[in-house]
Amino acid sequence: MDRMRGENDHKSTYFELSPRLSLGEVSGKKLAYGPIKDVLISTTWESNSENGNNFDNFLYGFAVDLDIPYFQYANLNFYRANNEKTDDDYQMTFVYGIPFKIASEDFLVDGFLDWSTAEGDHASELNWTTQWKWNVGKHISPDTRLYLGIEHSVWNNKFGIKGADENNVSALVKYHF
**pLDDT value of residue 3:** 73
- Contacts with 177 (C-beta within 8 Å, 6 or more apart), sequence order: none
Q: For 46-67, what is the mean pLDDT?
A: 92
Beta strands in 30-137 (DSSP E): 36-50, 55-66, 73-82, 89-102, 105-116, 125-135
Q: In the chain, what are the domain boundaries?
A: 1-69, 86-177
Q: At 5, is the pLDDT very low, low, confident or very high (cuts 50, 70, 90)?
A: confident
pTM over 0.85: yes
**pLDDT value of residue 158:** 93
- CA distance linking residue 43 with residue 134, whole number of Å: 31
161 has a pLDDT exceeding 80? yes
Q: What single string gives the DSSP state of each residue in 88-109?
A: -EEEEEEEEEEEEEETTEEEEE
Lowest mean pLDDT among 12-16, 92-96, 105-109: 12-16
With beta carbons less than 8 A apart as the criterion, state whether 99 and 108 touch. yes
State which amino acid sits at residue 132: W
Residue 112: strand, helix, or coil: strand
